[in-house]
Structure 1
Amino acid sequence: MISMSTIFFMVTAERAYEKVVSAAELAPSDYILKPFTADTLLDRIAKAVEKRAIFAGLYRLMERGDLNQAIAACLEGEAGDRRFLVDFKRLRAELHISLGEPHLAEPLYAELYELRAVAWARLGLAKTLFLQNKFAESEEMLIALVAENNKFMDAHDWLAKAHEANGKFSEAQAVLQNAVTISPNALQRLRKLGEIAFETGDVGTAEKAFQQVVTKARYSEFRDPEDHVRLVKTLVSKGDTSQAATIIRDLDRSLSGSGKGKACHAISSAMLFKQTGDLDRSSEELNKAVEACRDNIGLSTEMKMTLAKNCLDQKMDSGATEIMLDVMNNASSSAAMAKAVNLFEQSGRADLAQSTAKESRRIVVDLVASGAEKARLGDYRGAVTSMMEAVKKLPGNPQVVFNAAVALLKHLDHLGWDERLGDQARTMIDTARRLDAANPRLSSLTALHQTIMKKYGIASTTGVASPIIDS
């Protein structure tokens, strides 16, 4: 990703509506259509450069992870240059969301909507409601927003999320289909449409969506072997084994070089062999996939659950338990854990659900307790070692990642600044925020990080300490 201080202009003669909308979703600083005069371009660039200069200090704070300090800078900016009052308030609201404080962002977005009545402010308000689990209120607001602003693509995505959270999968599918019609090149939205359509039993729409994803991503950096698995799963469900075999061959040619690619090839092949009645070869491929997952190959939770479900269907309890233990260990919320338990129960294995969930809880508690005990005894180096090993084992578990960040910060606080550990601490804080943005303890964690940086006079994003000079 480019830095916040980068000015990103798109200059094009492209006027086809669907392509313009898809490009605009990349949120450039400006989008300029040819033909235009030199004065027009110069004026646009000058405005962008001026705004960047005003926000440069704030951007540095954000990129450094000093989000509470960035909020203070926003407040200072709001009291200063009134031309950018709305921009500063909007950034402040976004920062509160990043800190897991949607309740503090909510009144800001409400105020912004009163000031401007713009669609993005209303969307921000709906997001804060969603993040506070006020799904019905969020859904109601988003329905009205999409009705009034049918070309506002982010609003479609959040409305689909709200429908899904409220169990309205058909409504979510309809919203995504409309969004894809307007802006057909957003891969993540197409993937989501395929997943929801498959969930509702609309195999035709799912196949079309997944085929588009595979085709559009073929020569891009966004291609993912999991897309082939989703397409194969859809084709197999409708009995089209010939086309499924073609997709697997394409996967083998283009994406099977990595560990993730090999696992996806094995899962796809297992589903095809099962459909054709060759259960021995299907089991063999499932075992290959389970073995591949023992390394950190980046397979998504959804794909791991697909693998586990196929293992359960073929009475491969050991493989299913191994995969689902990993899923549960890295569950980012109670809802994610419930979904994992439900997979076992739907396969008639409530016993495995209970035993695997119990083992997962034991593993997480033991890992966190080990690091906490070492820190309590003053062994801060040992605490960091324990927690970073825990992160290697459970990289997606928010509790483990959060406690790893705490261990790193305590080490820095008590034993002095270390550039490498400082970078690791920031990475762990960012990861904890990504895994569980609603965690109310994130703000105190960020505040501790900032306090330690100030203690050692950390004045740059490089993490190099500089002397503090009192004025």
Structure 2
Amino acid sequence: MQDYAELSVLLIDPSQAMRTNLRGMLNQAGIVRVDDALSAGTAIRQISKKQYDIILCEYDLSGGVGDGGQDGQQLLEDLRLHDILSRWSIFFMLTSEGAYSKVVSAAELAPNDYILKPFTLEILMQRIARAIGRRTAFTPVYQLLDQGMVREAIAATRAGEGSHPRLATEFGRLRADLHFSLGELAEAELIYHTILAGRPIGWAHLGLARCQFGTGRYDEAVLTLDKLISQNPKFMAAYDLLARTHEALGQPAQAKRVLEEAVAISPHMVHRLRHLGTVAYDAGDPAVSEKAFKQVVAKAKYSEFRDPEDHVNLVKALIKKGDPNQAGGVIRDLERSLRGNDNLEACRAISSALLLESMGNGNAAISELNAAVAAVYGARGLSRRIRLGLVDSCLQYKLDKDAAGVVIGMMNDDNDALSLEDAVGVFEKAGRHDLARGVGETVNLQVGELLDSAASQMEQGDHKSAVSTLSLALRKAPNNLPVLYATIGAMVRQLDELGWEAGTGEQAGVLLQRLGRMDGDNEEFDRLVQQYSGTQRKYGISTTA
């Protein structure tokens, strides 16, 4: 038997007897670095602090303590969505659960394996050996990605195909995903077409549709996804993208239908239920929206990442449905069950304002809107949808200063910055041309000040500070050509004078592609491309994928 003494393992199971049995199996195989977690919450905290080679997770965590109400599927969903699970970690789902819908829900999250209990030591070690072997083959790629060297990682996938021909398709898939992450959709699409020429594979069809969606070819994406679902009706990610595509085409009713079909097949995915609730609300179906968000609130009850926005959305659905009494109960549950959450006060005040407005109590609604605006400034990670809804409510009550303040705050959000064009569009849509003009003037003034500051930093030789300043300006005005030229130019100069940095180099390349689409015929663009290529050659950076 292969030596696995250095492997670290986390056992997630509320049953002490099962953990003891699993530990015994692993010890027989020479694996002794084993930690325990009794619940999803405990597991998340441990995985956040330590990278495990192998995670063996029981599907049914209901027998645990504390937050034992969360199951293994919901745990894996949290780990994936919040980017906690390392690419190095191998996740096995263990279960005796026979309910088909739950099996589908768990399988679509792509654990490394799904093992039905009872199983023997031999079966467990066969699965571990297979997963470890695959990880070893991908190690050179993973190491480069950990260093932020995406372009070099792409080249390593080609080498991996030659060294491990049995994994050639998987290396091709990873290479396409990496091109996609760099915004190189044409390159990714070519890889997917090449793979599909050999044999029809569901994820390759999905990848092709993602490229079509990313390039705005929504009708093509619909055809690709419809075909994929007809051939493989249990390929759940296809439903999600198809719904998004219908939304992009302005077809909320079709998007709702697609998501309802998906939830009927796989009813336990919180992110999909949340999407269904939002789409149903937009499609004018508050009953479906209410049902979906009730399930979201219930299923997320034991998650480490409970989101008070789910309560806000449930309140909105109940108000639209005409049930203020139940909406009030949801607000009380929000206050009681999410104490200590950074976004509680903002979501409570927004919900209360909506309820008071529906009851015709305008003065009290204004008071809550004032509280909501104050709380938004101290909140973290509030969605664009929630904040824009607050802006609409403020405009309705002529709280112009508050509305403009929230929008400006959104434009300064490092994680999800609202562009100048989008900000102006918010007020234009509301018929407030005066506010649109005022916000535009304010942002243009801020961008001009940032450009001046960056120029001064460049003159002083502080290239990194200049790049940081210009990146902030670019977030405010992503389609501003002078800002785009200045940002790329500063990045190239930093790379040329201070040495190549993979992250900055990749970012400059992506921005150059954006600039090429916007202003590719300009001689200044050609000079910038030549400077970038010259810097790559100077430091021996390969320019081929």
Using the size of structure 2 for normalisation, the TM-score is 0.72
TM-superposed deviation, 1:370: 2.6
| Aligned match of 1:461 | none
**Secondary structure of the structure 2 residue equivalent to 1:8:** strand
Give, in whole Å, the separation in 2 of the partners of 1:296 and 1:441. Answer: 37
- Residue 154 of structure 2 contacts residue 178 of structure 2 at CA under 8 Å; is this kept in 1? yes
| Aligned mate of 2:310, from 227, 234, 242 | 227
TM-superposed deviation, 1:372: 4.7
Give, in whole Å, the separation in 2 of the partners of 1:292 and 1:401. Answer: 33
| Aligned mate of 2:281, from 165, 188, 198 | 198
| Aligned mate of 1:49, from 120, 132, 136 | 132
| Aligned match of 2:293 | 210
Give, in whole Å, the separation in 2 of the partners of 1:438 and 1:285. Answer: 45
Give, in whole Å, the separation in 1 of the partners of 2:206 and 2:468. Answer: 42
| Aligned mate of 1:174, from 235, 257, 276 | 257
Tell me whether 1:107 sits opposite 2:178 in the alignment: no
User: Which of the pair has more CA radius of gyration?
Assistant: 2
Paired letter, 1:136: D
Paired letter, 1:38: L
Unaligned residue ranges in structure 2 (runs of 5+): 1-83, 518-528, 541-545
| Aligned match of 2:362 | 279
Report sequence identity in percent: 42
- CA distance change for structure 1 residues 368 and 64 in 2, over 3 Å: closer, same or farther? farther
Further displaced range: 123-132 or 74-83: 74-83
Paired letter, 1:211: K
**Secondary structure of the structure 1 residue equivalent to 2:93:** strand
TM-superposed deviation, 1:21: 1.3
Give, in whole Å, the separation in 2 of the partners of 1:403 and 1:295. Answer: 32
| Aligned match of 2:8 | none
TM-superposed deviation, 1:234: 1.5
Give, in whole Å, the separation in 2 of the partners of 1:402 and 1:259. Answer: 38
| Aligned mate of 2:160, from 58, 74, 77 | 77
| Aligned match of 1:458 | none
Paired letter, 1:154: A
Per-residue Cα deviation, 1:227-258 (whole angstroms, up to 9, x for no partner): 11111111122331111111111111122423
Unaligned residue ranges in structure 1 (runs of 5+): 456-471
Paired letter, 1:186: M
- Residue 187 of structure 1 contacts residue 213 of structure 1 at CA under 8 Å; is this kept in 2? yes
| Aligned match of 1:147 | 230
| Aligned match of 1:124 | 207
**Secondary structure of the structure 2 residue equivalent to 1:10:** strand
Paired letter, 2:312: V
What does residue range 352-371 of structure 1 map to in structure 2 within 5 Å? 352-368=435-451, 370-371=453-454
| Aligned mate of 1:250, from 326, 333, 358 | 333
- CA distance change for structure 1 residues 258 and 331 in 2, over 3 Å: closer, same or farther? closer
Give, in whole Å, the separation in 2 of the partners of 1:403 and 1:186. Answer: 44
Paired letter, 2:273: L
TM-superposed deviation, 1:125: 0.9
- CA distance change for structure 1 residues 332 and 147 in 2, over 3 Å: closer, same or farther? farther
Further displaced range: 346-355 or 305-314: 346-355
Give, in whole Å, the separation in 2 of the partners of 1:437 and 1:198. Answer: 39
Further displaced range: 75-84 or 212-221: 75-84
| Aligned mate of 1:289, from 357, 360, 372 | 372
Count matched residues: 442
| Aligned match of 1:262 | 345
- CA distance change for structure 1 residues 141 and 335 in 2, over 3 Å: closer, same or farther? farther
TM-superposed deviation, 1:330: 5.4
- CA distance change for structure 1 residues 361 and 210 in 2, over 3 Å: closer, same or farther? farther
Give, in whole Å, the separation in 1 of the partners of 2:107 and 2:479. Answer: 33
- Residue 313 of structure 1 contacts residue 347 of structure 1 at CA under 8 Å; is this kept in 2? no
TM-superposed deviation, 1:114: 1.5
- Residue 214 of structure 1 contacts residue 227 of structure 1 at CA under 8 Å; is this kept in 2? yes
TM-superposed deviation, 1:220: 0.7
| Aligned mate of 1:299, from 374, 382, 390 | 382
TM-superposed deviation, 1:297: 2.2
Per-residue Cα deviation, 1:335-393 (whole angstroms, up to 9, x for no partner): 976665454344332332233234334434542553255225523365267458x48x9
- Residue 332 of structure 1 contacts residue 396 of structure 1 at CA under 8 Å; is this kept in 2? no
| Aligned match of 2:398 | 315
| Aligned match of 2:217 | 134
- CA distance change for structure 1 residues 51 and 146 in 2, over 3 Å: closer, same or farther? same
- CA distance change for structure 1 residues 170 and 283 in 2, over 3 Å: closer, same or farther? same
Per-residue Cα deviation, 1:101-131 (whole angstroms, up to 9, x for no partner): 0110111001111222111111111111111
Further displaced range: 233-242 or 7-16: 233-242
- CA distance change for structure 1 residues 346 and 20 in 2, over 3 Å: closer, same or farther? same
- Residue 402 of structure 1 contacts residue 428 of structure 1 at CA under 8 Å; is this kept in 2? no
Give, in whole Å, the separation in 1 of the partners of 2:421 and 2:243. Answer: 21
TM-superposed deviation, 1:197: 0.8
- Residue 77 of structure 1 contacts residue 85 of structure 1 at CA under 8 Å; is this kept in 2? yes
Paired letter, 2:134: K
**Secondary structure of the structure 2 residue equivalent to 1:259:** coil
Using the size of structure 1 for normalisation, the TM-score is 0.83
Tell me whether 1:59 sits opposite 2:142 in the alignment: yes
**Secondary structure of the structure 1 residue equivalent to 2:227:** helix
Give, in whole Å, the separation in 1 of the partners of 2:145 and 2:498. Answer: 26
TM-superposed deviation, 1:81: 2.1
Give, in whole Å, the separation in 1 of the partners of 2:506 and 2:344. Answer: 30
TM-superposed deviation, 1:22: 1.3
TM-superposed deviation, 1:9: 1.1
